[in-house]
A and B are shown apart, each in its own frame.
Chain A
Amino acid sequence: MPILDAHTFEFFSKSPEQTRRLGIRLGALLQPGDLICLQGDLGAGKTTLVQGVARGWGALDEVSSPTFVLVNAYRRPNGTQLSHFDAFRVESLGEAEELDLDALLARGPLLIEWPERVEPILPVERLWAWLEYESEEHRSMRFAAHGTRYESLLDTLRQTIYGAD
């Protein structure tokens, strides 16, 4: 696991199960207001990672791809929700803005797929992940922290993974 710099973290997943486990560890660390951007082509492992995040976070609802509904909400018993926004079908920044990402962030963490399509309206502090297809089972992932909250989040994630793997 090479470390590019203090605010970046690379992970090489050998199976969907490993991607999911990484998601679970990330999900367990999330707090309301956290923004996680997941950039990667179809088949890069975004949905698998989100499934793990939702489980680690403690969601009651099952993860599905939000391509057709724009935003999915995975609830937790304490009333907070993990929001899962797919920007693939958003036609303009104005349309994305009307979804009121700030209101979603007030209710819990927010995961965004295809975040590059709505980048100008996103808060500048966030965790940005690039996911890439390497081979049938293998995926590479790079996480970059923007802002102190995300630097400490990434530090903790790195520690939990080094401690466990």
Chain B
Amino acid sequence: MLLAIDTSTAQIGLALYDGATVPGELVWQSRAHHTEQLAPALAGLLERVGVTMDSVKALGVAIGPGSFTSLRVGLAFVKGLTLARHLPLIGIPTLDIVAASVPLSDRKLAAVLQAGRGRLAVGWYKPTGSGWQAYGPATTMTAGELEKKIRKPVIVCGELTAEDRHCLARKFKNVRLASPAQCVRRPGVLAEIAWNRWQAGKTDEAASLAPIYLHVAGGLPA
């Protein structure tokens, strides 16, 4: 069984995946209480599903982009488990999870998450024979700035507030907005991507796996 953990944003996600089924999946919004909630939630999920940590043979974790505190909580937790239980670890870029849950289309895809202070982190994906493929690094912008960049038909999927949706809907000819339910970043999808990477032998080093932080001010002096 693989355990997947995503604490990139205010949304926390946990999933168990065994290659054929998702025995347990948990998603909720936390008001910056990731530290207090993560471990008890995992204990609760394992108990409810009726398995112990001994059944967990690999760990998947979302590595961002995301906010400092929340990402740090998830990565520290997963690295602790990896080192203590000698488990393989797989880090997955957070926006890849968003993209993987969107059915492939001939349009390009903007995968987004909330970057704080009313901004979005936006990663661009194009359709290929093997699924969505990222091109270019994720950048932060407001929904209004994203709306202005869009000149061709795209799909926008991910964490969007009602205001973001309203703003992007102005480009209704070119923007197809994924529904709120489809926009949920599912830990089960993270688990599946991580499982496939694990099966392919592409695991990460716990010591060097680093999160992708979102910076609040552009061009900070070092």
Which residues of chain A have a CB within 8 Å of any CB of chain B?
Answer: 79, 92-94, 97-104, 106-107, 120-121, 123
Docked-complex contact A102 and B116, CB < 8 angstroms: yes
The contact string, 1 if C-beta is below 8 Å from chain A, for chain B 66-89, is 011110000000000000000000
Report the minimum CB–CB distance from B191 to chain A (whole Å): 26
Q: Mark B184-222, 1 if CB is under 8 A from A, else 0.
A: 000000000000000000000000000001011100111
User: Across the interface, do B220 and A120 meet the contact criterion of CB distance under 8 Å?
Assistant: yes
Q: How far does the Cβ of B76 sit from chain A's closest Cβ, in whole Å?
A: 13
Task: Determine if B222 and A92 form an interchain contact, defined as CB atoms under 8 angstroms apart.
Answer: yes
A93 neighbours in B (Cβ, 8 Å): 217, 220-221
Find chain A residues with CB under 8 A from B67 CB: 100, 102-103
Give the nearest-CB partner of A123 in chain B: B117
Q: How far, in angstroms, from A100 to B33 measured CA to CA in the complex?
A: 13
Within 8 A of A (CB), among B30-85: 31-33, 67-70
Show 23 A/B contacts (Cβ-Cβ < 8 Å), sorted by A. Answer: A92-B221, A94-B220, A97-B68, A97-B216, A97-B217, A97-B220, A100-B67, A100-B68, A101-B216, A102-B67, A102-B116, A102-B117, A102-B216, A103-B32, A103-B67, A103-B70, A107-B32, A107-B33, A120-B220, A121-B216, A121-B217, A121-B220, A123-B117
> What is the count of residue pairs linking A and B with beta-carbon distances less than 8 angstroms?
42
- Nearest Cβ in chain B — how far from A99, in angstroms? 8
Report Cα–Cα, A102/B10, bound state, in Å.
11
In angstroms, how far is the closest chain B Cβ from the Cβ of A87?
A: 15
Task: Across the interface, name the chain B residue whose C-beta is closest to A125.
Answer: B117
Question: Do A103 and B68 have beta carbons less than 8 Å apart?
Answer: yes
- A92-B222, A102-B67, A103-B67 as given contacts; A97 in contact with B31, CB under 8 Å: no
Q: Type the 1/0 row for B104-128, where 1 means its CB is closer than 8 Å to any CB of A.
A: 0000000000001100000000000
Residues of B within 8 Å of A107, CB to CB, are 31-33
| Nearest opposing residue in chain B for A101, CB measure | B216
| Interchain nearest-CB distance for A61 vs B (Å) | 17
Across the interface, which residues of A come within 8 angstroms of B70, CB to CB? Answer: 103
Min CB distance A96 to B, Å, is 9
Contact, CB under 8 Å: A103 / B69: yes
- Chain B proximity of A100: nearest CB distance (Å): 4
Please name all residues of chain A whose beta carbon is closer than 8 Å to the beta carbon of B68 when the two chains form the complex: 97-100, 103
Give me the 4 closest cross-chain CB pairs, A-B, nearest first: A100-B68, A106-B32, A103-B69, A100-B69
Q: For residue B216, which residues in chain A have a CB less than 8 angstroms away from its CB?
A: 97, 101-102, 121
Nearest to B218 among chain A residues (CB) is A120
Q: Which residues of A contact B10 (CB under 8 A)?
A: 106
Provide the bound-state CA to CA distance between A103 and B67, in Å.
Answer: 8
Chain B residues within 8 Å of A120, by CB: 217, 220
B188 to chain A, nearest CB (A): 26
